[in-house]
Amino acid sequence: MNDEEQVPQEVQGRVKWFDPVKGFGFVVANDGGPDILLHANVLRNFGQSSVADGAGISIRIQQTQRGAQAVEVLSIAPPENIGQPALDDMGGNPLPDPATQPLEPARVKWFDKGKGFGFANVFGRSEDVFIHIEVLRLSGFADLQPGEAVGLRIVEGRRGRMATQMTSWEAALREGGA
């Protein structure tokens, strides 16, 4: 390869699939072409342990002998065409606009993808924050790991505090929201 091919190229696309257990997945570029390998370490460097299938993604890629590979994640957007959930805790009403809520630093206590929910703790507060899987998907995540640092936008529901939106904590810092 010559030096020009070694310069990472910025690509926009969609996550074809990502399996956190296998530690990798693939991205399909908006401009077409072969699938691009997305390794879990590259995703973790962005501050996330997973990403939802169909999520929009901006990455830097490099060509290798095995094909194109992501070397840096620049941004992740939630999958398109996902409606806002009306959670039982909100009395069947849609969630309030997340942009109206402050971003709060939190750590994931536990999350069970099979059950479709989990909890996090906000720094300096004792009560748990409920995280529904639909909020996770709307935010571009596929799963969460215990201890993972996240930024949460939170509202009061009938049974306590619940997340309306989340971001990786690193992304929250980059956005200046924290």
- The pLDDT of residue 90 is 46
Q: Token digits for 76?
A: 């992740």
Q: Do the Cβ atoms of 177 and 103 come closer than 8 Å?
A: yes
CATH class of the domain defined by 3-77 = mainly beta
| Amino acid letter, residue 1 | M
Q: What's the angle, vertex CA 109, arms to CA 105 and CA 112, rounded to 5?
A: 120
pLDDT at 178: 44
Q: Which whole-number Å values give the CA distances from 66 to 33, 63, 69, 127, in the listed order? A: 14, 8, 8, 48
> Of 137, 151, 135, whose CA–CA distance to 89 is shortest?
135
User: So what's the pLDDT on residue 105?
Assistant: 92
Which residues share a beta bridge with 8? none
- Could you report the per-residue pLDDT of 121-164, keeping only the tens digit for each? 998 898 999 999 888 888 888 889 999 999 999 988 877 899 98
Model confidence at 11, pLDDT cuts 50, 70, 90, reads very high
Same fold: 3-77 with 88-175:
yes
* Topology of the domain covering 88-175: OB fold (Dihydrolipoamide Acetyltransferase, E2P) (2.40.50)
Q: Which residue has the higher pLDDT, 6 or 22?
A: 22
- For residues 40 and 79, the model is more confident at 40
Amino acid 1: pLDDT? 46
Q: Which amino acid is at 138?
A: L
Residues ≥6 apart with Cβ < 8 Å to 170: 46, 47, 149
Q: What is the mean pLDDT of the chain?
A: 83
How many CA atoms lie less than 13 Å away from 67 in the CB half-sphere? 9
CA of residue 114 relative to chain centroid, distance: 18
Mean pLDDT across 49-60 = 90
Where are the domains positioned within the chain?
A: 3-77, 88-175
Q: Which residue has the tokens 């939170």?
A: 154
